Each structure stands twice: as C-alpha cells, then as structure tokens.
Structure 1
Amino acid sequence: MAVPTVVLDIVALRSLVAVADCGGFHRAAEHLVLSQPAVSQHVRRLQKAVGRPLVERVGRHSRFTPEGEALVGEARRIIAAHDEALRRIGVGDTRASIVLGTTEHAADELLGLVSGAVSEVFPDSAVRFRLDRSDRLNDAIERGTLDLAMYIGDVRGSDSVSAGSLPLTWYAAPGWRRPPPGSPIPLLVIDSPCTIRRRALETLADNALSATVVGEAAYLAGVLNAARAGLGVVLLAGSGGVPEGLERRDDLPPVRPEPLHLRAKPGSDPRLRDAAARVLGTILVPA
C-alpha cells in the first residue's frame, strides 16, 4: 500500500475549523485558548502541506479561498472520525458525551447558551457540538449519532418541536450602497439548499425587487467575508450584536423571523430537549 506523501495535522485542522466556525482568527484563538499567531501558524502549516492558499486577505479582513472552504468540510469529517476512534478505544475523555447539532446560522448564540444549560442538567457528561446542514442534522438524529438537533427550514419528524423564531436581518459592509431603482440587489448566500437563501430571494421578490446572487459559499464564514469585502448584502439569522465588519441595512424589506426547531434522538432523556427549549425561550422570538 502506498504511503501518503501529504499528512494533515489534526491540531491544525481543528484550528482551521475554529476559524470557520468563529468567523475569524482572533475569535478562533479565544475559543481554542491559543494565541492568534499559533492559530495562524496552524493554517500556514496546512497551506504548506496542500501546496495552495487556504485563506486570502481582503482589505483588513480575511476569507477562505475555494480550496480553503473545501478543506474545512473535509476537516470536519476527519476530526469527527478521529475523535470517534479515540472514544471507541477508551482514550481521552471517557465520560458519556452529549452531542448538540445546529446549523451555522446563529450558532455562536445558540451553542454556548444551550451547552451551558445541558451541562447543568447533565454534569457528568461531556457536551460536544456539530455544525451542519439541517437535512444532515436530521439524518444524524435518525441514525442516533446526534443527541439534539437545532435546525431551521421544513419540519422533519413528528417529534420536532418549536423553540421560537430567529430574527432575520440584512447586513452589508459600511459604505455599501444599494443599487439604483431598477437594478438588481447583489446577494451573498450559502449554497443551495439553504432556508435563509430562499427567504432572502422570496422577500425581495414579494416586494417587487429584483436580485442576483453575486457570491455563494459552502459555509457562513465565506459569505461573511464576501460581505465584509463590500461585494453585496447578506441576510443573517440571530438576535445578537452586529457581526464584525458589517452594519444593519434597514433600507431593505423586513423579513419574518425564521422558526427554530428542536429534535432529540429517539429514547433520549426528555430533560435534554426541555433544557434546550427552556434556555432558547429566553432569546428567541415567540413562535
């Protein structure tokens, strides 16, 4: 069997995924309890290994290249397989794990809040998380590899319950100018299928405004980077503060909040979903 000539460092892959999930190197470093130069070094190590740029600078900000976004997706699968292998052989943290899943939309608000509430109810369990598309989160619930899914879009499964709704707000880079009347609104979106993408296009159409997708990415981090570069406007879910490098656009039609659904693994402790629903009720718009 041929030995691979390129080896991807699992620690560096964790830093790459953290940059994607946290929306930048600084927040990724805080999340990983590392220095920002260490996170940057990890990404450079991966770039050297694969022989191509993964991140590029756009003004004061950085964004993933198409190769970088592709590697983020592969990194998630590698890390999941790595950690599951350790768990099966009893290496590392052997406590029972509770795996929470959510879409990228508003994940920075939802995961920390729900993780804390679940840890209080299940203090002897290690709480982990997974970011993915709604359909894949539901697939994982049905396979039993995910304990609780927080997802948007079409309801799947008779066991799904509503936790409330996520406000939807338009954002763009400071100084971005809306095109003159009659010209299409340039949209930045996540690849299809995406509920927020569909809501953005539908809302503009319902208000007799034409739109054109000028940029799309597989992950939210790529969309945010494009928005910060002034390439277009983006519709985001969440009730937190304004994303770094962006500002609200109240000159576009308001969008109805998007329902957030909860679905627990069959046979799971009912306190899990109850804890999540209780704490989410404090930040979400009533359904």
Structure 2
Amino acid sequence: MTNSLDLEHLRTLIAIAECGGFSKAAAVRHISQPALSQHVRLLEKGLKRKLFERDGRTMRFTPEGEKVLAEARTILEVHDAAIRRLNAVQGSTIVVGSTEHSAEQILPEMLRSLDEAFPDSSTRFEIGRSTQLIEAVGRGAVDLAFVLDPSEQGPGRTVGRLNLAWYAAQNWVAPGSDEPLSLVAFEEPCGLRERALSALAAQGHRVEVSAQSTTLEGVLAGVRAGLGVALLPSAGGLPRGLVERGDLPDAGAVNLQLITRRGLRPEITDTALRAGTQFYRDRPHLQLVSEQRDVVGA
C-alpha cells in the first residue's frame, strides 16, 4: 500500500467521475488520454486495488473505486481549503462550463486562450447539460458557459450554429405507419427533446420516448442498443456505431451560445467569445452536415 497519494492523480479520478468518461476528462484536465490512463494505473498500483471495470464498451468505477473517489473528494477539499487559508492561491480561478457536445472540441482551445490572456489565473471546467449550466451561471457558480439553445431565444451571444441530425443504430428499422416511432432523448427539461417531438409531430408521426438519460453517453448508448432514434447536434463526426437518418424530418439547426455571469470582467468575456468564434471560423465543417457521412434514407 502506498504511503502517499498524488493530488493530480486524485484530480484526474474526480474529473473522470464528473465528465462520465476518460476522453472528456482528458480534455478537461488538458492532458492526453494515455497520460490520464497512466494516472489511473499509478493509483491502482499504489493502492493495490482495481478502480475501474469494463461495462460493455465503457468503463465504470468498481466498488473499491467508488470508495477511493469519495476519499479523493475529501482530501482535495481539505487541501484546497488549506491553500486558500494560507493565501497561497495567486490570481483568480475562471470557471468555464460546457455541454458534453462541445467539451472535447472547444475546451482545450479555450484553456490555451485563457492561459495566454490571463497568466495569473487558473481555469477550472464544469461539464453538464445546458439547463444545469445556465442555472449555475445565474447563481454565480460558473463564470461563463457554452450552451445549446434550441429555442434560439435564450440568453448570451452566438458562438456557432450546428445542424441537427437524426441518428440510429445501423440495424434500426423505421416503424410502420400504424406504429409509434421510438425516441431516445435527454431527460426533461431539454430543448433538443422538445425540438425532436415537435418536428416529428409536424410530419404526423406518433412518438414514444423509449429511453431517456441525463448524459450524452447515456443517450448514445440507448441509440446503439436499437431503442430508437435521437436528435443531436451534428458536430463534425458520426457517432461510433450509428448512422444518420435522412428519412426523418429536417429539424433545422441549434445555436451554441456563450453566457456569462453578472459582473464578470468584460475582458474575460471578450477573450472567451473570440476563442469560441475563431474556433468555428477555422473549422467551418463543424457547422455543416458532412456529405461523406453514411446517411440512410436520404
């Protein structure tokens, strides 16, 4: 058993739990996925216990891993509180929120921009659903956030615009005219869910929500299992194991908005807006439905 625990390795463990996976946690921690995996291996080696186990195509915490995760949260809370009491923190912390749809794309670019513009400040990221992030910004827990706005009437400033596309498992078969169409969606409240229901109803489809989840990974898992179709932003790549359905109604596009808390320094807002808009300006394919995708029924 190890005599000490590396604080950065513990932060990695917490990031995996909060982000729901290794790849998103690596983006938030601004390290490569192999480096993140190495953090986990070193923790497992030092503690002589397995922290993760495979569940299908994903990894989940073992019961021992859950115990270590709880201890990691306690250790870091005590450590960070002590640092604050000793006035050892230099500069401020900028808390940036992002939806799962845009986390892997925008956050690394945002980290670089904020580090360059504010070298005396640190950056912390929060990954969540748009509704949660809007609430967090409203109460001041998050400084700025990139959120989806299916209503096109939400707060903030537009960073980019993403087409919406229908996705299904490769072997999914559309129901007959006398059968309801199965939809996999985010739990309410969710603007994408409402957009999907409205678009399908406008074409006379009867819809049944066959599965729902609070996370993007959960929605994708339900679609891969053949439980139904999902309406998601078309963000530059076809989700693994899925096809795009061109035989379902056009659901339009969705804005990616930058929202900021009241009182945030204007230069921070301007830096974030420039970084976000430049990211999409340099990558126009992210705002277009790729012609090379496997589109079924088009």
Aligned residue pair count: 259
For residues 223-282 of structure 1, give each alpha carbon's deviation from its aligned partner in whole angstroms, at most 9, with x where no partner exists.
111222222211112422112222222221121111222222223222222223223334
1:133 CA displacement: 3.2
SS of the residue corresponding to residue 264 of structure 2 reads coil
Once residues 206 and 223 of structure 2 are traced to their aligned partners in structure 1, the CA distance between those partners, rounded to angstroms, is 19
Once residues 34 and 101 of structure 1 are traced to their aligned partners in structure 2, the CA distance between those partners, rounded to angstroms, is 21
For residues 157-209 of structure 1, give each alpha carbon's deviation from its aligned partner in whole angstroms, at most 9, with x where no partner exists.
6xx22323222111122222222333222111111111111111111111212
For residues 76-102 of structure 1, give each alpha carbon's deviation from its aligned partner in whole angstroms, at most 9, with x where no partner exists.
xx58x8386465345997552211112
1:213 CA displacement: 0.8
Alignment match, 2:55: 56
Alignment match, 2:222: 226
From the CA coordinates, give the structure whose radius of gyration is larger. Answer: 2
1:56 CA displacement: 3.1
Query: Do 1:161 and 1:262's aligned partners in 2 also have CA atoms closer than 8 Å?
Result: yes
Alignment match, 1:101: 97
Alignment match, 1:5: none
Q: Measured at CA, do residues 116 and 147 of structure 1 come closer, stay the same or move farther in structure 2, by a change above 3 Å? A: same
Query: Do 1:23 and 1:221's aligned partners in 2 also have CA atoms closer than 8 Å?
Result: no
Query: Do 1:97 and 1:125's aligned partners in 2 also have CA atoms closer than 8 Å?
Result: yes
Q: Measured at CA, do residues 93 and 212 of structure 1 come closer, stay the same or move farther in structure 2, by a change above 3 Å? A: farther
Query: Do 1:138 and 1:156's aligned partners in 2 also have CA atoms closer than 8 Å?
Result: no
Does 2:34 correspond to 1:14? no
Q: Measured at CA, do residues 206 and 239 of structure 1 come closer, stay the same or move farther in structure 2, by a change above 3 Å? A: same
Query: Do 1:114 and 1:276's aligned partners in 2 also have CA atoms closer than 8 Å?
Result: yes
Q: Measured at CA, do residues 271 and 37 of structure 1 come closer, stay the same or move farther in structure 2, by a change above 3 Å? A: closer
Q: CA RMSD in A?
A: 4.0
169-178 or 83-92, which moves further after superposition? 83-92
Does 2:32 correspond to 1:33? no
SS of the residue corresponding to residue 230 of structure 1 reads coil
Q: Which amino acid aligns with 1:148?
A: L
Query: Do 2:131 and 2:189's aligned partners in 1 also have CA atoms closer than 8 Å?
Result: no
Query: Which among 147, 151, 155 is matched to residue 151 of structure 1?
Result: 147
Once residues 94 and 259 of structure 2 are traced to their aligned partners in structure 1, the CA distance between those partners, rounded to angstroms, is 14
Identity %: 32
144-153 or 29-38, which moves further after superposition? 29-38
SS of the residue corresponding to residue 175 of structure 2 reads coil
For residues 10-38 of structure 1, give each alpha carbon's deviation from its aligned partner in whole angstroms, at most 9, with x where no partner exists.
7644333344474799x999447233894
Q: Which runs of 5+ in 1 are unaligned?
A: 1-8, 48-53
Alignment match, 2:294: none
Once residues 59 and 248 of structure 2 are traced to their aligned partners in structure 1, the CA distance between those partners, rounded to angstroms, is 26
Query: Do 1:187 and 1:234's aligned partners in 2 also have CA atoms closer than 8 Å?
Result: yes
SS of the residue corresponding to residue 146 of structure 2 reads strand
Pairing of 1:42-53 with structure 2 (within 5 A): 45=50
Query: Do 2:24 and 2:104's aligned partners in 1 also have CA atoms closer than 8 Å?
Result: no
Q: Measured at CA, do residues 105 and 188 of structure 1 come closer, stay the same or move farther in structure 2, by a change above 3 Å? A: same
Q: Measured at CA, do residues 142 and 228 of structure 1 come closer, stay the same or move farther in structure 2, by a change above 3 Å? A: same
Does 2:179 correspond to 1:178? no
Does 2:281 correspond to 1:279? no
Once residues 192 and 38 of structure 2 are traced to their aligned partners in structure 1, the CA distance between those partners, rounded to angstroms, is 31
Query: Do 1:257 and 1:285's aligned partners in 2 also have CA atoms closer than 8 Å?
Result: no
1:148 CA displacement: 0.7
Q: Measured at CA, do residues 167 and 136 of structure 1 come closer, stay the same or move farther in structure 2, by a change above 3 Å? A: same
Q: Which amino acid aligns with 1:56?
A: D
Does 2:253 correspond to 1:257? yes
Q: Which runs of 5+ in 2 are unaligned?
A: 1-9, 281-285, 289-298
1:135 CA displacement: 3.7
98-107 or 86-95, which moves further after superposition? 86-95
For residues 8-67 of structure 1, give each alpha carbon's deviation from its aligned partner in whole angstroms, at most 9, with x where no partner exists.
x87644333344474799x9994472338947x97x8567xxxxxx9732xxx23879x9
Once residues 86 and 234 of structure 1 are traced to their aligned partners in structure 2, the CA distance between those partners, rounded to angstroms, is 46
Q: Which amino acid aligns with 2:117?
A: V
Once residues 255 and 114 of structure 1 are traced to their aligned partners in structure 2, the CA distance between those partners, rounded to angstroms, is 29
Structure of greater relative contact order (alpha carbons < 8 Å, 6+ residues apart) = 1
Alignment match, 1:207: 203
1:211 CA displacement: 1.6
1:124 CA displacement: 3.0
Q: Which amino acid aligns with 1:120?
A: E
